[in-house]
Amino acid sequence: MTTQGESTPPPAAHQHQPAPAHSRGPRVTPRRILLWVVLAGLAAGGSWVVTRPNPGDLVPGLGPTSTRPSSGPPVPGVLPAPPQTEAQSFTAERYFPAQRGLDLDGYKARRSNAGQGADCADTVQDKAHDPLRDTGCQGYLLVAFTRLDQQVTSSVTVLRYADEASARKAEAAVREGAAALLFLPPEGTAPATAPSPSASAAKQPVTTRKVAVVGHYLTVTVSRFADQRTTVPETDHALDEATRNVSYTAGLPFVWM
């Protein structure tokens, strides 16, 4: 007999019985099966990424290994190219590539001609007054820069010497005879001829020059108007500006050499 409000306990036969030993453990449900499939797929995918030839293309932090050169053994019978000597690498395209414009303090110009050689006498117009004779010059570069409006052209001669002492020894002679050096015009323009000794200063193009020693190199920068004008107002500093900026640009590649 029970008191009102109390539930009648279930018969003993219907009370919960412990599950048999063989039925214990997690139940295999569709959700668990799906989870196992996903985990197995991730594990297989991760292994595939790491073992690919270029895992860095997919795994962050490894870098783009597809661009790395092969580290395989050298090809038999093929020797690596020896490094270039200073004389071999002394080219206008290396130090003053055509695609690199000049933009310094608002002065903008482009490379309009270039050349190089081992015989520095080739840079002299007036052979009778060769300032480079017996200076020990070992090679030269010739580079022309034209202002973007094409009104001013600068010609740079870079002379290579064995050491800085030799370059400084040649500086005085080159500075005194700089007028005898070749003025390289823009490509496609007739080379400028050296003024005759009898020509008056009024007949010669207005010119500015700067000679500078940079390491064991000597740079000579000359600027003129493209129309070869022989007079210019004192207030016109276009040539001074061109020579200053082009001379600085010409010496920059050789500062630490």
Backbone angles phi, psi at 89, to 5 degrees: -90, 0
At 114, list the tokens: 């270039």
Most confidently modeled range among 32-41, 76-85, 181-190, 191-200: 181-190
Mean pLDDT of 145-155: 98
CATH of domain 90-254: 3.40.1000
Specify the pLDDT at position 48: 38
Split at pLDDT 50, 70, 90, the class of 207 is: very high
Q: Delimit the domains of the chain by residue range.
A: 29-64, 90-254
Check if the beta carbon of residue 111 is closer than 8 Å to that of residue 145. Answer: yes
